Chain A
Amino acid sequence: MNGPEDLRWIARDDAIPIRTLRDFLLQALRHDAIADVLIERMVSRAEAGRLDAHSLSVLLPELIGDVLDTTANEDWLAIADALIEDTREALLEEAET
């Protein structure tokens, strides 16, 4: 179990537990946008006899970064619209109940 010192700092008063951070990364890597490519790359490396943690650890952030690099402003706007709509409804439901 991680102790209180196992943190990565986002800002002076904002930290993320390493356990939470790694879970976030694993979930991103398991997402449909990455999962198939990750398996392809890992099996390819395994068959070539060069599946090791060091080289894979370089590939993994690239896989996540590649997806993030494709985002356009319209993607973030669409997500923002959906989040705002959900939040408005949640606030109304909260007021009604």
Chain B
Amino acid sequence: MSPQWIEIDDEVMAKVQAKAKPFVDSPNDALRRLLGLGSASEASCAPLPTAEPPVRSTRAQTGELLPMAEYLLPVLRAVSQAGGSAWRAEVRDAVEAALAGRFTPVDRAPLQNGQIRWENRLGFARLRLIERGHLRLGSRRGLWELTDAGVEELGRLEAEAQKRESEASG
């Protein structure tokens, strides 16, 4: 039988080590002893898994992306303007229009799976807004719903944005 490669957790590894004869046993020998099996007649350990070529990371560097915080106001605004609930595609269009001039080339580039990076990040923005209680974890797929806390947050973010604009212009 050809050897197989398995993964074990730290607790199991500690037990195996405790039952192993130092410098004599392989992990397989120790496991065989624990399981009440006789000694193995052939090679007792599988070779290490063949190293796969490293997957090229497409992780963006710091400063290459529009910060996630910048997505929150356009998302909340889009849902609010749609009457408190909006379809994902409506939110996506509104966010794209709002942030069109601010997306970086990296935001606009596709990920390895082909999806445009900012569209992927939009999904994470929704999740963060749900975690903060500003959007509802809805029962209808693709429908994003504002909560009362989200309405309050939208007011706060709008006020902040207006303040920044007036400071910038004045």
Tell which of A26, A33, A34, A39 touches B127, judged by Cβ atoms closer than 8 Å: A39
The smallest C-beta distance from A59 to any residue of chain B, in angstroms, reads 15
Give the residue of B88, B114, B115 whose beta carbon is less than 8 angstroms from that of A36.
B88
The secondary structure that dominates the A interface is helix
A23-B114, A37-B141 in contact; A32/B123 too (CB < 8 A)? no
Cross-chain contact of B88 among A26, A32, A43 (Cβ < 8 A): A32
Task: Report the nearest A residue to B137, measured CB to CB.
Answer: A40
Bound Cα distance A26, B114 (Å): 8
B-side interface residues toward A, CB under 8 Å?
A: 87-89, 113-115, 123-124, 126-127, 137, 141-142
Can you list 30 A-B pairs with a CB-CB distance of less than 8 A? Answer: A23-B114, A26-B113, A26-B114, A26-B115, A30-B113, A30-B115, A32-B87, A32-B88, A32-B89, A32-B141, A32-B142, A33-B141, A33-B142, A34-B141, A35-B88, A35-B123, A35-B142, A36-B88, A36-B123, A36-B126, A36-B141, A36-B142, A37-B141, A39-B123, A39-B124, A39-B126, A39-B127, A40-B127, A40-B137, A43-B127
